[in-house]
Amino acid sequence: MKINNILVAGLYEEIFQKHIPQTICQNFRFVAIDEITEVDLEWSDAYVGSAPA
């Protein structure tokens, strides 16, 4: 399985950007846990965080 789209529960984009190399090919989506939708989950190949509400 190729992981292209990664859904991160929480608004951690600024923190992640400091540690993710600029050459990485994956797409990240940062969403507050209480705002995650089915569309977000369908978009993602991987999920980082606790269980969605």
pLDDT at res. 50: 73
* pTM, 2 dp: 0.77
pLDDT at res. 23: 75
Q: In the structure, what pLDDT confidence band is assigned to residue 52 with cuts at 50, 70 and 90?
A: low
Question: Mind listing the pLDDT tens digit for each residue in 4-49?
Answer: 999 999 888 888 788 777 777 889 999 998 899 999 999 999 999 8
Letter string b/e over residues 6-29, b meaning 16 or more CB atoms within 10 A of that residue's CB: bbbbeeeeeeeeeeeeeeeeeebe
Tell me which residue has tokens 């600029």.
22
